Every structure is written in C-alpha cells, then in structure tokens.
Amino acid sequence: MNVTRGFTGRPRVQNAGLPPGQYDAGDDWPVLSAEVTPELSPADWTFRVDGLVEEPRTWDWDEAHTLPGSVYEGDIHCVTSWSKFGVRFGGVSLDAFLDVVRPQAAATHVVAYSHTGYTTNLPLADVTGGRAWIAWEFDGKPLSAEHGGPARLLVPHLYFWKSAKWIAGLRILDHDEPGFWEQNGYHARGNPWEEQRYSGD
C-alpha cells in the first residue's frame, strides 16, 4: 500500500452497495458519451435482434411498448468511478424480446449496437434471466436524449458503458467480439464488483 502523504479523503461511507474504487455521485448523473447526441425521435427508433436466433425481428416504438412492462430499481456504476444509488428505470425486460426471437443453442455472446454506431459486447448470460432491460423511462419520465433516449440498453450489474445508449439492436453470436470501448483497452466483461475496468484487470 502506497499511502499518499496528507490524504484523508471523503468521510468513509459504510455502504455495502458501493463496489470497490467507486464513490456515491449523489444526485449527479454525469454524461460521458463519446459521440454527438443523436436527434432520434420515438417514431424513428427501432430495435432489432438477429444473428444466431430462430426468428430475427425488428420492433418499432409502438410494437416494443406492447410487450409487458418491467421496472429496474437499484444502483448503477460507471467505470470512471461514480455510482448512483436508487435509480428507477422503466421499459421492457430483454428476456421478453429474446423469448420472441429464440436464441439458438450455440449462442454465447451478443454485440449491442446503437443508432450512432456505438458497440459493446456482452455474454448472453449477462443479458438474460431478468438482468437486462430496454429502458425508455427514468424516474417515471421519458429518458432524455443525453442519457440515451428514446431508449437505451440497461445492464445495471455491469459498468455502465455496457448499457448502450440509443440502442438499435443486438447481434447474437457464438463468440465474443469486442465493442468500441473494449477495443480501446476496456475490460471484456466489466463487473464492478471485481473492478474489471481495463483489459487485464
């Protein structure tokens, strides 16, 4: 341990929900997208799931809203070291979409991609079983454009770069293909509890 002379830091928070190396951002919700925020209206939004599935399918805004609604209430964690507690997102569980397209037995990973062309890779197991959503509401209001609206992927148990804004689709694969940040040195999985920030962590 290399102690920094004279450094005391913030008052210690006894919060079992705070992963290692993270701090509580409180009411702040920083925006960190690397690209220009797109002007994407709900009418122009679509979400496609294809690749290793029995029945590839594209949903538009209204079609996606006919699926059963689902809410995530909990915490989110950004790799830049802020965490945000007690957030509430509304949308549809990703399981509801995957139940329709039916991934094949060989499927192991997905690449999620945005209407901007942003990509991020995830193990299929991380986006199934009630752990991932397509979210279009935050705190009961439409998700704002800078936070990924009209709809974003939400995978709250992984660092938040995995929760692709302006989600356009998932390509289901039988192997892992690094997305944008993962090609730029970030970890393939990004589990905050194991502090998987960068490749090699």
Which residues in this chain contact another protein in the complex, by CB under 8 A? Answer: 1-10, 12, 21, 23, 30-38, 78, 80-82, 111, 113-119, 146, 168-169, 171, 173, 177-181, 183-185, 197-201
Q: How far, in Å, CA of 191 to CA of 168, rounded?
A: 23
DSSP 48-114: EEEESBSS-EEEEHHHHHTSPEEEEEEEEE-TTSEEEEEEEEEEEEHHHHHHHH-B-TT--EEEEEE
Smaller CB distance to another protein: residue 13 or 125? 13
Do residues 159 and 77 touch, judged by C-beta distance below 8 A?
yes
Smaller CB distance to another protein: residue 12 or 141? 12
Smaller CB distance to another protein: residue 152 or 171? 171
Task: Report the nearest approach of another protein to the CB of residue 159 (Å).
Answer: 13
Task: Report the nearest approach of another protein to the CB of residue 181 (Å).
Answer: 8
Task: Report the nearest approach of another protein to the CB of residue 29 (Å).
Answer: 9
Task: Report the nearest approach of another protein to the CB of residue 89 (Å).
Answer: 19
> Which residue, among 192, 174, 189, 111, has the nearest Cα to 200 in the 3D structure?
189
Smaller CB distance to another protein: residue 6 or 140? 6
Q: What is the DSSP letter of 25?
A: -
